[in-house]
Chain A
Amino acid sequence: MQVQLKVNGKAATLDVAPNTLLVQAIREQLRLTGTHVGCDTAQCGACTVLVDGHAIKSCNTLAAQHPGAEITTIEGIAAADGTMHPMQAAFKECHGLQCGFCTPGMVMSALDLCRQSPQASEGEIRDLLEGNICRCTGYQNIVKAVQQGQAAMARA
């Protein structure tokens, strides 16, 4: 079946089987491999993308469920000239990543988090990141990065 999507600002028509997960469509058909798969139980958040501005786990939903949706992946948030989004820059500045595998999902969750709770405290950020597992960083620097990204986004 055909699904029309807008992915990172570009229209895309996908020919997918009805049981194709959104993450499969993104990774395998659109070849946007920044969105990762870390589990098969919708627990880790490595696959998080924005659908119509909201962070969702793309391993937990079918591509066919989102006709006409605007999808943003990690590849779609830097400026056209490659300048990183303030949240990406904050992750680098705060050393909020190590192996980088959870990172795209973390950044996408962080974007939604900051939009929904621009005043979130450290404790609230820890709470709101509950759906994203990082095995490398111990989270402290991720939390710092989200705080810094949050401040930068508020200024922007």
Chain B
Amino acid sequence: MGASDFSKLPHIGEAIRRKEDYRFLTGAGQYTDDINLANQRVAVFVRSPHAHAAIRSIDASRAEAMPGVARVFTGKDVEGKMGGLPCGWLITSTDGTPMKEPPHPILAQGKVRYVGDHVAMVVADTLQQAKDAAEAVEVEYDVLPAVVRVEDAKKGPALHDAAPDNRCYKWAIGDKAQVDAAFAKAAHVTKLDLVNNRLVPNPLEPRAAIGSYNRASDEYTLYVSNQNPHVERLLMTAFVLGLPEHKVRVIAPDVGGGFGAKIYLYAEDVALTWAAKQLNCAIKWTCERSEAFLCDAHGRDHVSHAEMAMDQDGKFLALRVHTDANLGAYLSTFSTAVPTILYATLLAGQYTTPQVYCEVDAWFTNTAPVDAYRGAGRPEATYLLERLVTRCAWEMGLGQDEIRNRNFITQFPYQTPVALQYDTGDFHACMDKAKKLAEVEGFAARRKASEARGLKRGIGYSSYIEACGIAPSNIAGALGARAGLFECGEIRVHPTGSVTVFTGSHSHGQGHETSFAQVVAARLGIPIENVDVVHGDTGRVPFGMGTYGSRSISVGGAAIMRALDKIETKAKKIAAHLMEASDADIEFAGGEFTVKGTDKKIPFGQVALTAYVPHNYPLDKLEPGLNETAFYDPTNFTFPGGTYIAEVEVDPATGVVRIDRFTAVDDFGTIINPMIVEGQVHGGLAQGIGQALMEQCVYDRETGQLLTGSFMDYAMPRADDLPSFRLDTNATPCTHNPLGTKGCGEAGAIGSPPAVINAVLDALADLGVKDIDMPASPSRVWEAIQAAR
């Protein structure tokens, strides 16, 4: 079935209420910490209080003698018994050498490299006992000087022997000579320095895990709050513990948000699983929030210089970018891909810039590992480009909309100078719709009204594009990926015609149990109540790559569609037999099989029953049963895009920024469930606006101590920090997947930060404020106003 037939099916595009909500609303959800196993102990991790230190000695004898304590594991116990955490993406430096990949031990070996680094694991009968014993583990450190920012990392001290200059890689994309030539003949060049502030993802459910082991079957089970259980199992068995995969089952039950922070294999998960066998019991660990601030993978943290060369009409000729990326102390699972493949390849944006060159230096620092957080590379690219484009507009005396309209890509497919080929889009249409919805024509009057109240009003634009559902596997592999990027779906039709769907993607709030069921119900013409979706369990789902990069419906849904193709093909053969017609004459629509040109028909349920009760069945030609599995490897990324318009009011006396209205018009291709899609956009916008105005992860520059270590110091957006949003969509369906869908989970977080900062700068332009870094907190805005005066 093609994308256009699919989008016309009943229930596709219908805001069906979510199947999963009843359990979440009645307290019946089951998150990892809600689970307790028989014979379960509790683990607490002893974490480094220093950003950088040599471990002189660890004495756990006093702790081990305390009541209830089963064992204290340290680096010595795991050394040589398991590998370190692997990095999933190998980047090759411009000089052809592979990136520096220093070991990432499960428990520290000789040195600690960030505050929160794992030093020991205490296992005891109760949490209180484990906590008390953790206090009693005596660790002597020789404190070493720490580096927190990339500019300091460049000057050393070295964190790892394997990377003496603290650089992980020096990478580039694009044609430098062509870019330099274009700059040489430009009519105007606009330059901008930008910081993309470091963030803490903070899913509301802290990470949690229970490792357990069964001696009789020699099998391990790990319950874990994670976005991709199969990948977790693959990395843990093949790379760290050297176990056969079939002996390890990973279950990610209800997961209370992920946003990237739960994609990765963490040291805690490995340590618990391994220790479960050593102690022959289940071991549970629940992260506390303050601990999560220290040891969850953080996001963003780029420092960039960008330059745009233009002709006299404001047409872009070339873009030149240098970015320093802070990777933290160790390489997290996808960290190396974020500032390269997921970032620099997006720098063409929605524009026909003929030449783009981007250089990226990635650095180790004494901070928590940095990895993909909602959007992963694309928010960083979009922030840089969309701030630069607005700056270009101001320097060229053009409107923010005008400069974008002049440079939009209009012909598809479009090959960018940085590797990607956009299949489809209509950027002018999104811009027009957004302007209308934002009532831009009334802006001048609103600005006047604000001025009358002593407030500054500004408007900011951002036209983003993102690449979702990283693909295809062979190209990703050539770019350094160490895993495939397909998805798997299994359709199990039961004898009475109800269906269980097994998907390798994972839902941690995105409502897959509803939207995936909607796809299957629409396609088979059966009630949605008759379809259940199973995910998150390597023991039940054949295989999977999990959920990240807005891939679920476009890759996971496409795999389900492929499996449904197989179901349909087989079911038609059964129907043909039952109606004594030829296979080629059978049509299937609305849950009924019909014979072309006759009034013969039988419902889906009857075919299903026949498959399992094959009394009248072509047993010589066809196996009984109706159960199909498909693996789908996409041929390209999908490219959602859109235009966002922020309108803000700034109080120049206090520096407080209030978002008065926020408009987002997105192109997500075919939409399965608009209610769920809107919810995704809302959540993304909240995180993007949070980044723009409030959120900032701060380490002390000298000591490497985390200063924003709880919700008291790290400003999470609350209900009264955000406006109600104005949303619309403009669909140009994806041309290469069978649903026509693109991906909506990250859009809001990608498109909104530059729109907000552009609006703040627009508001403050006549006060002489030229630049402001995120987060535009009241103190920063106030200081910028004072400095400009």
Contacts and interface: CB of A to CB of B under 8 A. Distances in A.
A138 B722 contact: yes
B29 interface: yes
B257 A101 contact: yes
A100 B203 CA distance: 11
B31 interface: yes
Contact of B256 (A36, A93, A95, A141): A36
Interface residues of B, number: 56
Given A36-B31, A38-B205, A100-B256, A138 B711 contact: no
Interface of A: 27, 32-41, 43-44, 46, 73-75, 78, 82, 84, 88, 91-93, 95, 97-104, 107, 122-123, 125-127, 129-130, 132-143
B204 A33 contact: no
Interface of A is mostly: loop
Contacts of B718: 129-130, 132-133, 139
B711 A41 contact: yes
Query: 5 tightest CB-CB pairs across the interface, nearest first?
Result: A34-B27, A100-B24, A101-B256, A99-B509, A138-B682
Interface string B148-192: 000000000000000000000000000000000000000000000
Interface in B335-367: none
A140 B661 CA distance: 13
A147 to B, nearest CB: 11
A130 B683 contact: no
Interface in B423-455: none
A71 to B, nearest CB: 13
A92 B17 contact: yes
A136 B690 CA distance: 12
Nearest to B723: A140
A97 B25 contact: yes
Interface of B: 17-18, 20-31, 33-34, 202-206, 254-257, 259, 286, 288-290, 508-511, 675-676, 678-679, 682-687, 710-712, 716-720, 722, 724-725, 748
20 contacts: A34-B26, A34-B28, A39-B711, A40-B290, A40-B710, A43-B716, A92-B18, A95-B676, A99-B204, A100-B21, A100-B23, A100-B25, A101-B204, A104-B25, A126-B720, A130-B720, A137-B679, A138-B722, A140-B724, A143-B719
Contact of A103 (B24, B675, B719): B24
A129 B722 CA distance: 12
Contacts of A82: 26
Contact of A140 (B26, B510, B682): B682
Contacts of B17: 92-93, 95
Nearest to B34: A33
Name, among A46, A99, A141, A142, the residue most crowded by chain B CB atoms within 10 Å (CB to CB): A99
Contacts of B684: 138
B682 to A, nearest CB: 3
B27 A32 contact: yes
Given A133-B716, A139-B719, A140-B722, A46 B204 contact: yes
Contacts of B717: 139
B27 A97 contact: no
A125 B724 CA distance: 13
B535 to A, nearest CB: 14
Contact of A107 (B25, B203, B254, B288): B25
Contact of A137 (B18, B25, B686): B686
Nearest to B678: A95
A137 B293 CA distance: 21
Given A95-B676, A132-B718, 11 more contacts: A33-B31, A38-B204, A38-B206, A40-B710, A41-B712, A46-B204, A75-B27, A101-B257, A104-B27, A107-B25, A127-B719
Contacts of A37: 33, 206, 286
Contacts of B29: 34, 100-101
Given A36-B31, A38-B205, A95-B675, A137 B682 contact: yes
Given A39-B710, A130-B718, A44 B204 contact: yes
A104 B23 CA distance: 11
Contact of B27 (A33, A92, A126): A33
A82 B25 CA distance: 11
A103 to B, nearest CB: 5
B585 to A, nearest CB: 43
Contacts of B26: 34, 74-75, 78, 82, 84, 88
B259 to A, nearest CB: 7
Contact of B203 (A43, A122, A129, A135): A135
A142 B290 CA distance: 26
A118 B411 CA distance: 55
Contacts of B256: 36, 38, 99-101
Contacts of B510: 98
A84 B157 CA distance: 60
Contact of B204 (A123, A134, A140): A134
Residue picked from B255, B290, B511, B682, most chain A C-beta under 10 Å: B682
